[in-house]
Amino acid sequence: MRFAAQAVEVEVLHYWTSGGEAKSVAELKKMMEAKGYTWKDFAVAGGGGENAMTALKTRVVSGNPPAAAQIKGPSIQEWGAEGVLASIDDVAKKGGWDKLLPPVVSSVVKYKGQYVAAPVNVHRVNWLWVNPELLKKSQCQSANHLG
Protein backbone atom coordinates (compact mmCIF):
# COMPACT_ATOMS: atom_id res chain seq x y z
CA MET A 1 0.00 0.00 0.00
CA ARG A 2 1.36 3.44 -0.96
CA PHE A 3 0.49 6.68 0.75
CA ALA A 4 0.65 10.05 -0.95
CA ALA A 5 3.21 12.32 0.60
CA GLN A 6 1.48 15.06 2.53
CA ALA A 7 2.87 18.55 1.98
CA VAL A 8 4.26 20.17 5.10
CA GLU A 9 2.48 23.42 5.86
CA VAL A 10 4.78 26.31 6.72
CA GLU A 11 3.18 29.37 8.28
CA VAL A 12 5.19 32.45 7.30
CA LEU A 13 4.81 35.73 9.16
CA HIS A 14 5.91 38.68 7.03
CA TYR A 15 5.21 42.34 6.43
CA TRP A 16 5.80 42.54 2.70
CA THR A 17 2.25 43.43 1.78
CA SER A 18 2.35 46.22 -0.81
CA GLY A 19 3.38 46.51 -4.46
CA GLY A 20 6.74 44.97 -5.28
CA GLU A 21 7.02 43.51 -1.78
CA ALA A 22 3.89 41.42 -2.32
CA LYS A 23 5.28 40.28 -5.68
CA SER A 24 8.48 39.20 -3.93
CA VAL A 25 6.51 37.18 -1.38
CA ALA A 26 4.59 35.53 -4.22
CA GLU A 27 7.91 34.44 -5.77
CA LEU A 28 9.16 33.04 -2.44
CA LYS A 29 5.87 31.20 -2.06
CA LYS A 30 6.21 29.70 -5.56
CA MET A 31 9.75 28.54 -4.78
CA MET A 32 8.67 26.94 -1.52
CA GLU A 33 5.65 25.24 -3.07
CA ALA A 34 7.82 23.91 -5.92
CA LYS A 35 9.78 22.03 -3.24
CA GLY A 36 6.57 20.41 -1.96
CA TYR A 37 5.70 22.70 0.94
CA THR A 38 2.43 24.52 1.53
CA TRP A 39 2.83 28.22 2.32
CA LYS A 40 0.35 29.50 4.91
CA ASP A 41 0.42 33.27 4.68
CA PHE A 42 0.51 35.32 7.90
CA ALA A 43 0.86 38.82 6.46
CA VAL A 44 0.83 41.76 8.88
CA ALA A 45 0.62 45.16 7.20
CA GLY A 46 1.75 48.53 8.46
CA GLY A 47 4.30 50.05 10.76
CA GLY A 48 7.38 49.16 8.72
CA GLY A 49 7.41 45.74 10.36
CA GLU A 50 6.60 46.93 13.88
CA ASN A 51 3.07 45.50 13.72
CA ALA A 52 4.46 42.18 12.52
CA MET A 53 7.00 42.09 15.37
CA THR A 54 4.23 42.74 17.88
CA ALA A 55 2.25 39.85 16.37
CA LEU A 56 5.35 37.65 16.44
CA LYS A 57 6.09 38.43 20.10
CA THR A 58 2.49 37.64 21.02
CA ARG A 59 2.61 34.31 19.20
CA VAL A 60 6.00 33.34 20.69
CA VAL A 61 4.97 34.25 24.25
CA SER A 62 1.73 32.28 23.87
CA GLY A 63 3.70 29.21 22.75
CA ASN A 64 2.32 29.27 19.21
CA PRO A 65 5.06 30.74 17.00
CA PRO A 66 4.82 30.60 13.21
CA ALA A 67 7.21 28.24 11.45
CA ALA A 68 9.03 31.17 9.82
CA ALA A 69 9.08 34.92 10.26
CA GLN A 70 10.57 37.88 8.48
CA ILE A 71 12.95 39.51 10.95
CA LYS A 72 15.34 42.38 10.37
CA GLY A 73 19.01 41.45 10.75
CA PRO A 74 19.90 43.02 14.11
CA SER A 75 16.85 41.44 15.77
CA ILE A 76 18.03 37.95 14.85
CA GLN A 77 20.62 38.06 17.63
CA GLU A 78 17.97 39.15 20.16
CA TRP A 79 15.65 36.30 19.18
CA GLY A 80 18.60 33.91 19.32
CA ALA A 81 19.35 35.00 22.89
CA GLU A 82 15.73 34.20 23.76
CA GLY A 83 16.32 30.63 22.61
CA VAL A 84 13.45 30.60 20.12
CA LEU A 85 15.35 30.11 16.84
CA ALA A 86 16.12 26.78 15.21
CA SER A 87 19.35 25.89 13.45
CA ILE A 88 19.12 25.63 9.68
CA ASP A 89 22.77 24.62 9.30
CA ASP A 90 21.80 21.55 7.24
CA VAL A 91 20.13 23.75 4.62
CA ALA A 92 23.02 26.23 4.66
CA LYS A 93 25.62 23.47 4.29
CA LYS A 94 23.69 21.86 1.42
CA GLY A 95 23.49 25.25 -0.31
CA GLY A 96 27.12 26.15 0.31
CA TRP A 97 26.19 29.37 2.10
CA ASP A 98 29.60 29.76 3.74
CA LYS A 99 31.16 30.08 0.28
CA LEU A 100 28.36 32.17 -1.24
CA LEU A 101 27.64 34.75 1.46
CA PRO A 102 29.97 37.57 2.39
CA PRO A 103 31.00 37.36 6.06
CA VAL A 104 29.13 40.58 6.85
CA VAL A 105 25.90 38.85 5.78
CA SER A 106 26.55 35.37 7.19
CA SER A 107 27.45 36.82 10.60
CA VAL A 108 24.05 38.50 10.81
CA VAL A 109 22.08 35.34 9.99
CA LYS A 110 24.07 33.13 12.38
CA TYR A 111 23.64 32.87 16.13
CA LYS A 112 26.54 31.37 18.09
CA GLY A 113 28.04 30.06 14.84
CA GLN A 114 24.87 28.36 13.54
CA TYR A 115 22.66 29.57 10.73
CA VAL A 116 19.26 30.48 12.15
CA ALA A 117 17.99 32.69 9.31
CA ALA A 118 18.08 32.80 5.54
CA PRO A 119 19.06 36.09 3.91
CA VAL A 120 16.24 37.08 1.58
CA ASN A 121 17.29 40.68 0.97
CA VAL A 122 19.95 43.02 2.26
CA HIS A 123 19.41 46.61 3.34
CA ARG A 124 21.93 49.20 4.42
CA VAL A 125 21.15 52.34 6.36
CA ASN A 126 23.84 54.48 4.77
CA TRP A 127 22.80 54.32 1.11
CA LEU A 128 22.47 57.56 -0.78
CA TRP A 129 20.31 57.71 -3.89
CA VAL A 130 21.32 60.59 -6.11
CA ASN A 131 19.99 62.12 -9.30
CA PRO A 132 23.31 63.02 -10.98
CA GLU A 133 21.84 65.88 -13.01
CA LEU A 134 20.26 67.55 -9.98
CA LEU A 135 23.40 67.00 -7.93
CA LYS A 136 25.54 68.65 -10.60
CA LYS A 137 23.07 71.54 -10.84
CA SER A 138 23.07 72.06 -7.07
CA GLN A 139 26.89 72.01 -6.99
CA CYS A 140 27.04 74.67 -9.71
CA GLN A 141 24.56 76.84 -7.83
CA SER A 142 26.52 76.41 -4.60
CA ALA A 143 29.75 77.35 -6.36
CA ASN A 144 28.13 80.50 -7.72
CA HIS A 145 27.07 81.54 -4.20
CA LEU A 146 30.58 81.04 -2.84
CA GLY A 147 32.39 83.12 -5.43
| pLDDT at 4 (0 to 100) | 47
Strand, coil or helix: 106: helix
- Per-residue pLDDT, averaged over 125-141, amounts to 81
Please determine, for residue 25, whether its predicted confidence score (pLDDT) is greater than 70.
yes
Residue predicted with more confidence, 127 or 79: 79
**Listing from the earlier edge strand, what are the strands of the sheet with 8-14?**
37-43, 8-14, 68-69
Q: How far apart are CA 81 and CA 41, in angstroms?
A: 26
